[in-house]
Amino acid sequence: MLWTKGGGGKIDYVEVLDTTLRDGAQTRGVTFTLHDKLRIAEKLDELGVDIIEGGWPGSNPKDEEFFREARKLSFSNSRLGAFGSTRRPNVKPSQDPSLNALLKADVPVAIIFGKSWILHVIDVLRTTPEENLRMVADTVEYLREHGLEVVFDAEHFFDGYRESPEYALQVLKQARDAGASTIVLCDTNGGTLPFRVGEVVRRVRREIDTRLGIHAHNDCGVAVANSLVAVTEGVRHVQGTMIGLGERCGNADLTQIIPNLALKMNYSVLKNSEGLRKLKDVAYYVAEVSGFQITPNYPFFGVNAFAHKGGVHIDAMLKNPRTYEHIDPSLLNMERTLSVSELAGRAALVNHAAKLGLVLTKEQVASILEKIKRLEAEGYHFEPADATVSLMILEAVGYDVERLRVRTWWVEVLMAGKITARAVVSMDIDGEAVTEMAEGVGPVHALDAAIRAAVLKRYPQLESTQLVNYKVSVIDTKDATAAAVRVFIEFSDNGNRWATTGVSKNIVEASLKAIVDGYSYKLLVLDGGFTSRSQADNGS
């Protein structure tokens, strides 16, 4: 499974607890609807995580409703867990409203956190260390007596262990003796470094024979590393969130931990054997509903994770992908991308042409690269604009890429009580003159609507083609509002996505170029309609 040889069979299984719906929901700026939570739970089950921590019943109405609705779901791989705290000081478990709300959630697993740092025991709980130990034991026993599996989260364990290792270990032993199935060491403040995590876990393993877990936060940027180090030291239960959501700097990111465990460390992970290939879909779904987008350079699943730009890199990649990739991207349902740019050489262009079913001559490659370098010097950026590059290649080898030709266009913006934009465009579509007018909320929207109306007259099958992303970048700010701009537009249709770009000192003109190229690419490449100029001139 690794590019490098060796490994053999899987060495052990690591249980995964996903807390996106509880800890992840505490991310500042994130609000999951009830529907979001239920759908994420279904996707986590499809992925194959062992335990889904659904929330804290009794803490808010939405979590209570989630557990009621979740009973209607049918999980194939996952067990649903409810989160809660140890009983209150000097209160019997049966009289603690939080614990009774947890029982009413009707789940098989309870995830209970208790204090393992004396600072919190005294300053936050305002009780004695002895009473805190009794709270841990009483709570675990009470839930076990009611038939629940108990996962005990030792909150602030690494901070507590640093100040008083004896007391921190006493807390763990109370949970173990009371019947907790898993004892989780929490780096709640996210301030512990990997070497220290390794040292502490080794010591704990000598004292505690119950299954150990790790719950890391990312305040020092090492939550994933801390989780992996803990596994190497014997931990077999890992907690985290999808795309690293969580308070402050976030929780340990399961979308990075899971591939590393499976592909780098050779552990078995996830109940679904196809889970690795489903991880991308879950990550992007959570990103969409949370509003925390996956960055291009995001490990494993960013659009640049397996993208190559440098000419030397691309040439080597085409000879042997192992030269510049640490894993085979197909294992994660990802694709390799070879960028065409002023830095990329002949190999990237030849590879792009091959995807179109074309073979380029040396002269054609040289001509296209010269054009790319000239245009990028003017402000173009072709790396994400795959469709624009395709049209350049088709044009260079003699195909007619201007079946949609704009003859004239006109745009106005009116302010009469409300702002209205109106556009008129005259086009030649396969030699037939078409003129259309449309209105929009702005000049680019109106222009796109007019072009779309004109194109649909001749090609109604493009009805499902949608403009899904539109971005504008200023190329040189020294010219202020007179600066040239670069427009990037992304389109989608029936699962296909493609992007185009345009540059001009006039934002509408730059947009016009990118819009027309987007529809042209759909016709010429995706619908297989490109013909050579010689064929078009002969009317064949």
Q: Hey, which residues are catalytic here?
A: 313
Is residue 380 within 8 Å of 400, Cβ to Cβ? no
Is residue 83 within 8 Å of 22, Cβ to Cβ? yes
CA distance 524 to 348: 21
CA distance 376 to 143: 65
At a CB cut-off of 8 Å and minimum separation 6, what does 437 contact? Answer: 422, 423, 424, 425, 450
CA distance 485 to 303: 23
Structure-block tokens of residue 80: 């649903």
404-432 as b/e: b if 16+ CB within 10 A: bebeebebeeeeeeeeebbbbbbbebeee
- Cβ of 29: how many Cβ atoms within 10 Å? 7
Q: What is the DSSP string of 120-170?
A: HHHHTS-S-HHHHHHHHHHHHHHHHHTT-EEEEEEETHHHHHHH-HHHHHH
Residue positions counted in the chain: 540
